[in-house]
């Protein structure tokens, strides 16, 4: 279960980083590019993903 939670946290973090990069206009070719909404939501989701991964790494077997 620990590895699953850690993996989920990593995946959520990756999505948050991708959304943030699209919102900031670094990654183009999407309707999400250069949109303030994704510039705000992306980092929030990335922080949540880091928290989930940290929780998964700290839990005992």
pTM score of the predicted model: 0.89
Q: Which residues of 24-53 are buried (b: 16+ CB within 10 A; e: fewer)?
A: beeeeeeebeebeebbebbbebbeebeebb
With contact defined as beta carbons under 8 Å apart, do 23 and 10 qualify?
Answer: no
Q: Which residue ranges make up each domain of the chain?
A: 2-58
pLDDT tens digits for range 6-53: 999 999 999 999 999 999 999 988 888 899 999 999 999 999 999 999
The DSSP annotation for 27-57 comes to: S-SSTTTT-HHHHHHHHHHHHHHHHHHHHHH
């Amino acid at each position: 279960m620990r590895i699953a939670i850690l993996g989920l946290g990593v995946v959520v973090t990756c999505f948050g980083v991708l959304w943030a990069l699209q919102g900031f206009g670094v990654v183009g070719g999407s309707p999400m590019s250069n949109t303030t909404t994704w510039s705000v939501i992306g980092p929030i989701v990335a922080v949540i993903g880091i928290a989930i991964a940290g929780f998964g790494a700290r839990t005992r077997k």
